[in-house]
Amino acid sequence: MTTPIRLGTRRSALAQAQSGHVATALERVTGRPVQLVPITSEGDTNRASLSEIGGQGIFATRLREALLSGECDFLVHSLKDLPTAIPAGLVIAATPPREDARDVVLTRDGIPLHELRSGSTVGTGAPRRIAQVRRRSPHAEVIDIRGNVDSRLARVTSGELDAVVLAAAGLSRLDARSPLRREELGLAEWPTAPGQGSLAVETTEDAPAELRAALAALDHGPTRLAITVERAILEGLDAGCQAPMAAHAVVEGTSVRVRTVVYSADGDRRIGLDVTEDLNGEYIRRNGSGNGADAADGADPVHAARELGLTVARRLLDQGAADLVSREHLSS
């Protein structure tokens, strides 16, 4: 009998749905069964506001402890919830193709977010979304909420809230059906969290070579480059993954375009950049990925992507971004 590969996942319906997609893909690669191992994280039991408890590892720490202790063989995370610092002994072995990275507003009657009447209630728990709602619909009241997708949708259906803001990728992975009306928010005007729509497949550095190779087969190069740029901006700002900032990168060939914005908590102020770079040998030579012909011919494009993200973060800081990222959102 073939020994199952054990996949550690949070217990939420969304986490298990997205882990199930990865499990199916890995079963096709290896011909071995993949067994889901549900693990309860702090984020699943602590119902306080994300803006109060912070996002640094709240959904990942317990899963990583389980992986390092041998309770499972690999993990699947929502990448936007993952701190930029990877613990010693662990490695992101794959980033599968990204789902829709946009946010979606759901309402009963289809009124666009910017047209909601004064006093309308909009539910979201993320500081970045709170700031964006306050910019887009300044007369609405933002309600800080937690809970799974179904419970959030139910609060609009019941009339308790007039709208909620959710990730399009989560709705897609859950195949969530609802009578509510959807408004997709364009990434040019409403960029989302670094890594939104992406998954991170994580294992140990000393995992069997066969497993590492199988997981690597799930990796999608353009997704990895894009999320590397986005997360390097977050890292360079020295901000936690619940900071009121957004970054979205698009890769076409060797070219990367990244739109990034840092918001004040009230949404009144913002600092943004829209940058396009070609991650070829010339960029690598200019940004310290190596030297001479080796830099042009054989340098790691992921390294160049990270350097681009860090450069963008420095430009944001030079323009005053540190004044907008409040101290409670800074990483320790």
**What is the full per-residue pLDDT of the chain (332 aa) written as tens digits?**
589 999 999 988 999 999 999 999 999 999 999 999 999 865 555 444 544 445 556 678 899 999 999 999 999 999 998 988 999 999 999 999 999 999 999 999 999 999 999 999 999 989 999 999 999 999 999 999 988 899 999 999 999 999 999 999 999 988 877 899 999 999 999 999 999 999 999 999 999 999 999 999 999 999 999 999 999 999 999 865 567 899 999 998 889 999 999 999 888 899 999 999 988 755 545 554 443 334 344 568 899 999 999 999 999 999 998 888 754 444 43
CB burial readout 2-19, b (16+ within 10 A) else e = eeebbbbbbebebbbbbb
- Tell me the residue length of the chain: 332
**What residues form DSSP beta bridges with 90?**
204
Query: What's the CATH code, domain 103-184?
Result: 3.40.190.10
Residue 237 carries which side chain, given as an amino acid letter? L
Q: Are 198 and 144 in contact (CB under 8 A)?
A: no
The yes/no answer on whether domain 5-99+194-320 falls in CATH 3.40.190.10 is yes
CB burial readout 137-176, b (16+ within 10 A) else e = beebbbbebeeebeebbbbbeeeebbbbbbbbbbbebbeb
Supply the pLDDT for residue 293. 37
Helix-strand-coil split of the chain, %, nearest 5: 40, 25, 40
Phi-psi domain of 292 (left: phi exceeds 0; alpha: psi -120 through 50; beta: other): left
What amino acid positions are annotated as catalytic residues? 81
**CA distance linking residue 275 with residue 280, whole number of Å:** 15
CATH 3.40.190.10 domain residues, the chain: 5-99+194-320, 103-184
**CA distance linking residue 273 with residue 87, whole number of Å:** 30
Closest Cα to residue 281, out of 295, 261, 262?
A: 295
**Ordered alpha helix ranges (H), 164-204:** 168-174
Supply the pLDDT for residue 326. 54
Residues with Cβ within 8 Å of 63's Cβ and at least 6 positions away in sequence, in order, are 8, 9, 10, 39, 41, 75, 77
SS3 state at 91: strand
